[in-house]
Structure 1
Amino acid sequence: MHPDPIDLARRLVQDRFPDALAVVLAGSTAAGRATASSDLDIAVLIGDGGETGRETVRVEGRLVELFVHTRAGLAELFAADVAARRGVLQSMYATSLVLVDTDGEAGRARDLAEADLRSGPPALEPEIVETKRYGLTDALDDLADADDPFERLAVAGVVLDAAADLLLDHHRAWSGSGKWLPRRLVEADAERGGALLQGHRHLCETGDPAPLADAALRVLGLVGGPLREGYRRTWRGVIDSVAAGAGR
């Protein structure tokens, strides 16, 4: 019989972080969707003399992801998540189950997290949007030309990611990776985001790129359409790879 995950989290916190200012349990466990194999996502706010970091441990057979931070560290992580347009830690605090709340510390952290989430991620700079348009157009051209099934699958992933990035930015919506990408897409735009996901699935199942290409072109239509000739980019400061923003 597996131990109750919330009880397990409480015991771990009492053992590892007896002086924690705030502890919240997030993820599928807090949402009531946990399975026997689900890991535990625990954010721990500690005193200013501690160190901010992340650690993965296994306790009583269950994986636990520990996100440990001081007040200053939490502010820095929130800022980094906003800049990355992900809002990961903010979502953890905003949707969590509070396990420890010393003098209202958990509530204050949640208030900051919710304020960030309400504000939304920063809009991409016009030059970056233009580069992403060019990259998606290039990837769609590659998708149309791809005869090799493995290349087609690889390019389809590029198309999905690039189109998702543009669509989420268009809506000033938070992005995500892995399982969070489809969740964010559907939350932001059920029609267009759903079409991208269905098109990608259809290609993976049948090899037919048409629905995915059509869905990506609809996204491009929101941001100025396909971009090929006329695109120009000048590198300023750090010069990155010529593949940045392109489909190769």
Structure 2
Amino acid sequence: MHADPIDQARCLVHSRFPDALSVVLAGSTATGRATASSDLDLAVLIEDGGVTYRETIRFEERVVELFVHTPIGLLELFAADVAARRAVLQNMYASGFVLVDSQGAAGRARALAEADLREGPPPLEPEAVDTKRYGLTDALDDLGDAGDPIERLAVAGYVVNAAAELLCDHHHAWIGGGKWLPRRLLEADPERGAALLDGHHHLCGSGDPAALIGAASEVLDLVGGPLREGYRRAWHGINESVSAARRVHG
């Protein structure tokens, strides 16, 4: 494997994307967290008329995640990431290491990314908050009653994710998945985020759910408290394919 992942990324870009408008190396390699087996995350901006896609390849024995997009595709992906409240691509551009910058393209993309990050994610609609409150309340009841250790672990995972989403929304903060969930959670609320993560870690080791229940209950109190009786969710639409069929068949 190439000794220097940045040099390796440059070699890949030179051979595969010689005409790229910009290329940004993101992820652990750009932030100094890379290990010998870390993959390379590359955001590649190409000319309009090309294809926007994501692809995983292997280059010189290293896994590479390619995020390739046209200028129009980049705007669409930024909008999708904002709607999902995750800002994955924005973080890549904002914190990544620039490998290629043709006529300021990387700088312009980074400016757009940073603007989105400063603005923050859209807030959850009140109905969505209530639905998540209800689901977390129900899960905490299950967690307290769960006798089966496998079921307890499964419910605990749901509790952490649901509480994290509510806590991040409360702070108008971006959320994350996988390894980014604890990172985003601690950025949003170092104290309560750590309590959730520590509670989950303690449960996984000991089987005792008390600390996690306490931490998640504190999050619930921030956003309106537990929700059981009185919860009601209206159905606002039907499946698009059913709707299309009805239009066709009158």
Q: Please indicate, yes or no, whether the TM-score normalized by the shorter chain is above 0.5.
A: yes
Note the alpha carbon deviations across 1:161-210, whole angstroms, 9 max, x for none: 11001000000100000000000111110110100000000000000000
Aligned residue in 2 for 1:39: 39
- What code does the residue aligned with 1:9 have? A
- What code does the residue aligned with 1:20 have? A
Query: Residue 34 of structure 1: CA displacement?
Result: 1.2
- How large is the RMSD of aligned CA atoms in angstroms? 0.8
Flag the structure with more relative contact order, 1 or 2, with Cα contacts below 8 A and sequence separation at least 6: 1
Runs (5+) with no aligned partner, structure 1? 240-248
- What code does the residue aligned with 1:83 have? A
Aligned residue in 2 for 1:155: 155
SS of structure 1 residue aligned to 2:104: helix
Pairwise mapping of residues 221-240 of structure 1 onto structure 2 (< 5 A)? 221-238=221-238
Aligned residue in 2 for 1:173: 173
SS of structure 1 residue aligned to 2:86: coil
Pairwise mapping of residues 121-136 of structure 1 onto structure 2 (< 5 A)? 121-136=121-136
Structure 2 CA distance, aligned partners of 1:101 and 1:51? 19
Runs of 4+ in 1 over 2 A off after TM superposition: none
Pairwise mapping of residues 192-211 of structure 1 onto structure 2 (< 5 A)? 192-211=192-211
Report the identity percentage.
75
Pairwise mapping of residues 1-248 of structure 1 onto structure 2 (< 5 A)? 2-238=2-238
Aligned residue in 2 for 1:246: none
Structure 2 CA distance, aligned partners of 1:238 and 1:6? 49
- What code does the residue aligned with 1:167 have? L
SS of structure 1 residue aligned to 2:103: helix
SS of structure 1 residue aligned to 2:33: coil
Structure 1 CA distance, aligned partners of 2:222 and 2:33? 35
Note the alpha carbon deviations across 1:15-57, whole angstroms, 9 max, x for none: 1011100000001111122111000000000000100001111
Deviates more, 1:2-11 or 1:145-154: 2-11
Would the aligned equivalents of 2:81 and 2:88 in 1 still touch at CA under 8 Å?
yes
Structure 1 CA distance, aligned partners of 2:206 and 2:35? 31
